[in-house]
Amino acid sequence: YGESRHVRKQPWMRKGRLPCSATWCPSCYEEHFDNSKEYLIYQVPGAFEIPPFIKQVLLKNIEKLDAIITLGSIIKGETAHFEYISSAVSQGVMKISLENSDNIPILFGVLTTYDYKQALQRSQPGKKNKGYEVMNAAIGMVKSINKIK
C-alpha cells in the first residue's frame, strides 16, 4: 500500500492538504480483514515520485505484498505542469504494473482534478471516497488473482 500526499503548499492550494483518501483505505481494509492482517503505509514527497518508489518497493520486496495502492492528488494550476505530471505518473504506474515479475497488482488512486473542490469531493468520508474505492478494488484483484493461481 503506497501513499503520496502534497507536502509543498502551492498558491492555488490555499486550503492546504486534502482530508486524504488515505484515511479511508484502512477503513475499507478493516471491514474485510481482522486486525491480524498488516498493511504498510509509505509517504513520498509528491505524485511524481510514486512510480520510482513503487519500483524500489518491488526490487527490495522484503515482505510479500498482496497489492500496492497509490494515492495522491494532482490539482491543475496555471501551467502545463499538471498535464506532464498526471501523464508521467499514470503511465509510470501502469508500466511498472505490467512489468513487475511478482505479478503484484498495483492500483492507481491518484486524483487528477481541475480544482481543489473536485479533489475534496472525491476525498469525502464514505464508500465513494477514492481511497475506499481503490482499496476495495485491490481486495477484489487479489481475490481474482488467487483464483487463477
**Quick check: is 81 catalytic?**
yes
Instruction: Report, as an integer, the average pLDDT of 26-40.
Output: 69
pLDDT single digits (tens) 56-84: 989 887 667 888 989 888 989 888 889 99
pLDDT single digits (tens) 103-136: 899 999 998 999 888 888 888 777 778 888 898 8
The string of DSSP codes covering 40-109 is: --EEESSGGGHHHHHHHHHHH--S--S-EEEEEEEE--SSTHHHHHHHHHHHHHHHHHHH-TT---EEEE
Catalytic residue among 9, 17, 32, 81: 81
User: Where is mean pLDDT largest: 19-28, 29-38, 66-75?
Assistant: 66-75
